[in-house]
Amino acid sequence: MPHPTLPLPHAMTTSASSSDDSLVLYGQRFDSRLLLGTSRYPSPAVLEAAVQRARPAMVTASLRRQGSNAAETGASFWELLRKLNVPVLPNTAGCMTVQEAVTTAQMAREVFETPWIKLELIGDDYTLQPDTLNLVEAASILIKDGFQVLPYTTEDLVLCQRLVDVGCQAVMPWAAPIGTGRGPVNPYAMQTLRERLKVPLIVDAGLGRPSHACQVMEWGYDAVLLNTAVALSEDPVAMAGAFADAVNAGHAAHRAGAMAEQSAAQPSTPVLGTPFWHHG
């Protein structure tokens, strides 16, 4: 069976005259700073409506979970991906060894016809924490094989630096374990990571509320990737819109520059023109 023709990540890039404020990943420009997962939605129709409302830069899809051909999953999923007309970012979800992740990525490149890959190498099947000991090796192999790798990682600064050292032009640290919705559990580490690394950083996993997305964008993160927070909300379509708005607001606030915090109250109204009181 021929592979489906799906939109590539460059399909939604902006023109050369676009604002310099665009999200840039591996030299490609995107109009949105929100990425959406495609699993756990109540129905394909709800997923489609959520994507239309959020207008994400990319949608993620798992080869292992969706299967490598339409016969395994039904042609409807592939048809939906085509209908969305949004660049697809394949991932290696569920992989727990370097070889497994590399093989899955290579298969995904053939199926989805794209060199882009969200690299997931899981070290703990309870928290779904990345395998911090072997992630750099897997990323290095894929980079050398021509992939444009977006690695899912923890907020560990040294690990993220090593990923950049082997050629990753963007890194995807978690805010909290996948699916918890707790928001940033280690703000200090995440802010330190943003201050030290000069590549695009996409918060991947752990965000549960639009305010969480706004917060990390205010810190200077470049984008967020969401799935559970939207798919399992009471109204996924409305929530997709709320997150899209929050991402934009947080990014605009970061560019505007927030006032410095003060240790004491400061009057917001000047006292010019205050009348003098005469005491008898």
User: d(Cα 106, Cα 219) in Å, to the nearest integer?
Assistant: 35
Per-residue pLDDT in tens (0 to 9) along the chain, 280 residues: 445 555 555 444 444 344 578 999 999 999 999 999 998 999 999 999 999 999 999 999 887 655 444 334 546 777 888 888 899 999 999 999 999 999 999 999 998 899 999 999 998 888 888 999 999 999 999 999 999 999 999 999 999 999 999 999 999 999 998 888 898 999 999 999 999 999 999 999 999 999 999 999 999 999 999 999 999 999 999 999 999 999 999 999 999 998 888 788 877 766 666 555 555 5
First to last CA, the chain: 99
Name the token pair of 138: 């897997």
Place of tokens 């897997």: 138
| 27 among annotated binding-site residues | no
Helix or strand holding residue 216 (H, E): helix 210-218
Give the number of other CB atoms < 10 A from CB of residue 161: 15
So which residues are the catalytic ones?
Answer: 118
Name the token pair of 92: 């290696």
| 75 among annotated binding-site residues | no
Does some domain include residue 264?
Answer: no
Does some domain include residue 14?
Answer: no
pLDDT by residue (tens digit) across 111-146? 889 999 999 999 888 888 899 999 999 999 999 999
pTM of the predicted structure, to 2 decimals: 0.85
| 103 among annotated binding-site residues | no
Q: Are strands 23-25 and 28-30 parallel, antiparallel or unpaired?
A: antiparallel
| 104 among annotated binding-site residues | no
**Segments forming the whole domain that contains residue 74:** 24-255
The CATH number of whichever domain residue 104 belongs to comes to 3.20.20.70
Does some domain include residue 12?
Answer: no
Total domain count for the chain? 1
Residue 13 is classified by DSSP as P
- Reduced to 3 states (helix: H, G, I; strand: E, B; else coil), residue 134 is coil
Give the number of other CB atoms < 10 A from CB of residue 238: 14
Report the C-alpha dihedral over residues 35, 49, 184, 129, rounded to 10 degrees: -70
| 94 among annotated binding-site residues | no
Give the number of other CB atoms < 10 A from CB of residue 69: 14
Q: What is the pLDDT of residue 276?
A: 57
Q: How far is CA 143 from the centre of its chain?
A: 19
Does some domain include residue 1?
Answer: no
| Long-range pairs of 21-29 with CB within 8 A, sequence gap ≥ 24 | 21/255, 23/57, 23/200, 23/222, 23/223, 24/200, 25/148, 25/150, 25/169, 25/170, 25/200, 26/116, 26/148, 26/169, 26/170
Phi, psi for 88 (deg, rounded to 5): -100, 130
Name the token pair of 193: 């990571």
Name the token pair of 110: 């053939």
